[in-house]
Chains A and B, each alone.
Chain A
């Protein structure tokens, strides 16, 4: 398991049906690009989060394929329209096979 990986997401607690809300997501991850070299001059192998998926009540909101050019501690901000109360699930997939998840609920105002 890549160590020290922690998600941090912002979803409003409530919204009215039909509102468009802004979601911010960050996860602490080195995003080792595969371009860097160690002290001996050997290439440090690539090890990044390669995919980020956000679903709401099972429906996809955004699906991002990440490449090494995404900065350390990948950040994404995007909108979503909510018509009902429910749960956003956030899933990050690591090159090393780990999967990091978190979720946030939203209620109808």
Chain B
């Protein structure tokens, strides 16, 4: 009983590292291609770029996420498990100091939300967050 509980707790507390600054997971190749279109093939490293996303999406139809990219001129968002990985591209104007935005997206299944930021100096940053998308019991 004790063991069971601990196991379940561990699963429930899965993503403390939601900002994925460590080893970046292998994305579906379609996503890699789309990311390459945005970066022109340039390297994207970890940086101040952050994604806020729930560990477990209550409903995959409407998942609130936010992205913060200090110093970025643009941020592209991808969902590597969706039929089409592109989600949105944000371009920030001079009156937008925080280079951050929140929105709500559709996720077809458990997958990584990936953000790629184009910085003012032309370099790129990348971050990802895993969002678990579950099948409800009484969606109705």
Asked whether any CB of chain B lies closer than 8 Å to the CB of A59, the reply is yes
Which chain B residue shows the least CB distance to A24? B102
State A67–B79 Cα separation when bound (angstroms): 11
Q: Is the CB of A70 within 8 A of B87?
A: yes
Q: Is the CB of B96 within 8 A of A76?
A: no
Asked whether any CB of chain A lies closer than 8 Å to the CB of B93, the reply is yes
Interface size class of B (residues with CB under 8 A): 20 to 34
State A35–B100 Cα separation when bound (angstroms): 29
- The distance from the CB of B95 to the nearest CB of chain A, in whole angstroms, is 5
- Give the secondary structure class of B's interface: strand
Q: Is the CB of A20 within 8 A of B102?
A: no
State A74–B97 Cα separation when bound (angstroms): 22
Partner of A64 from B90, B97, B107 at Cβ < 8 Å:
B90
Q: Chain A residues near B91: list those with CB within 8 A.
A: 60, 62-65
Q: Chain B residues near A82: list those with CB within 8 A.
A: 95
Which chain B residue shows the least CB distance to A66? B88
Q: Chain A residues near B101: list those with CB within 8 A.
A: 62, 64, 76-78
A68 touching B93 in the complex, CB below 8 Å, given contacts A62-B101, A78-B102: no
Partner of B93 from A60, A71, A75 at Cβ < 8 Å:
A60
Interface size class of A (residues with CB under 8 A): 20 to 34
Asked whether any CB of chain A lies closer than 8 Å to the CB of B62, the reply is yes
- The distance from the CB of B52 to the nearest CB of chain A, in whole angstroms, is 12
State A86–B97 Cα separation when bound (angstroms): 18
Q: Chain B residues near A20: list those with CB within 8 A.
A: 97-98
Q: Mark B66-86, 1 if CB is under 8 A from A, else 0.
A: 100000000000010011101
- The distance from the CB of A47 to the nearest CB of chain B, in whole angstroms, is 15
Which residues in window 81-140 of B have CB below 8 A to A?
Answer: 82-84, 86-98, 100-107
Q: Is the CB of A69 within 8 A of B86?
A: yes
Q: Chain A residues near B82: list those with CB within 8 A.
A: 69
Residues of B at under 8 Å CB distance from A? 61-63, 66, 79, 82-84, 86-98, 100-107
User: Which A-B residue pairs are the 10 nearest by beta carbons?
Assistant: A60-B93, A77-B102, A63-B91, A69-B87, A71-B104, A65-B89, A67-B86, A79-B98, A78-B101, A71-B62
